[in-house]
Structure formats: structure tokens, C-alpha cells
Amino acid sequence: MTRISVKVDGTTYEDEVEPRLLLIHYLRDRLGLTGTPIGCDTSNCGACTVDLGGETAKSCSVLAVQCDGSVVTTVQGLAQDGEWHPLQKAFHERHALQCGYCTPGMIMAARDLLGENPEPSADDVRHALEGNLCRCTGYQNIVRAVLAAADAEAASSAAASASSGQEVAP
């Protein structure tokens, strides 16, 4: 057994884990964070995507011991003060899911994209989501949801700047 300390969704956990325990199993089985699904166990589908230290990672391909000292954010950790993240809202409002199995991974990959490129094109969104598979929606509503979330975040930033008296560039 190996002792690890990892901060997940804002809470620090200290645990003894087997060196072969995958992060996805640590999150789901040890911490009870079942919002991140196990999809393929081969890192092909992207359903288990999380933020690991500021980068997206497929949690079925990372050992829990590799996360010692790291910060992990799951789709469950995106909501703040009971409010959904703009991507979560947009996926709901734009019907960007059917079965919902791929949704956590899609949202986490889209969050990474918007962190790097707050004004993506539809092609940028499609490229960023290439490693995440959906077997239900045909992707059109997913792309629309990501673009809507980008617009919502831009509007929110502009409103915050305006209320603080800062000029907003057109």
C-alpha cells in the first residue's frame, strides 16, 4: 500500500491505496464521486475525463499514486455554491445529451478548451472534443452547447467588468 494525499473537488484526502489502483476507481469506489463514469477502460472514449493539475486526463489511464500531491477536479466539482457551471447549464439547455454517459467527459474537455480559447469556432470545438466519443447525439447539440457556454462566459465577464467600472473592448 502507498500513502497519497490528493485534493479532489476542493477537499483533501489522505489515503492508503494499492499502487495499481486507477484514478477512476479511486474517485468512484473510495471517494463516492460517481459523476465520472467508467466508459471503456482503455482511454478511447473520454467519458472519464477529469482535470488533473490544470490539464485534462482520462482517469482510466492514470494511477491514483501518480496523483499524490495533485489537484483533481471532476464534473461534480464544477458547480459553485449550488450553481451549475456555464457548461453544465448549456448542455442541459441545448439538449446536448441523451443517455448522458459521455457528458461528464465532454464537459471537462470543453472546459479545458474554453480555458485556452474563450472564443472558439465550431471547428475548434470539434477538434477539442475529438478524444471524446458520444454514441447518441450526433455531436451537433454538443458543439452548440459549448459555443453557448463560451458566449455566456464572455457575457458574464463583460458584465463583471462593466460593474467594476473597467472598459470592455469590443
**How does pLDDT run across 35-71, given as a tens digit for each residue?**
999 988 888 999 999 999 999 999 999 999 999 999 9
| Residues of the chain with confidence (pLDDT) below 70 | 138, 164-170
d(C-alpha 159, C-alpha 147), whole Å = 18
Residue 164's pLDDT is what? Answer: 64
- Predicted confidence at residue 59, as pLDDT, reads 97
Phi, psi (degrees; rounded to nearest 5) at 60:
-80, -5
Which of 82, 87, 63, 61 is closest to 152 using CA atoms?
87
Looking at residue 116, its pLDDT comes to 96
What does the pLDDT read at residue 169? 52
Residue 156: per-residue pLDDT: 78
CB within 8 Å of 55: residues ≥ 6 apart:
112
What is the pTM (predicted TM-score) of this model?
0.90
Residue-level pLDDT at 165: 61
Residue 93 has a pLDDT of 95
Question: Cα 85 to the chain's mean position, in Å?
Answer: 10
CB distance 25 to 48 below 8 Å: no
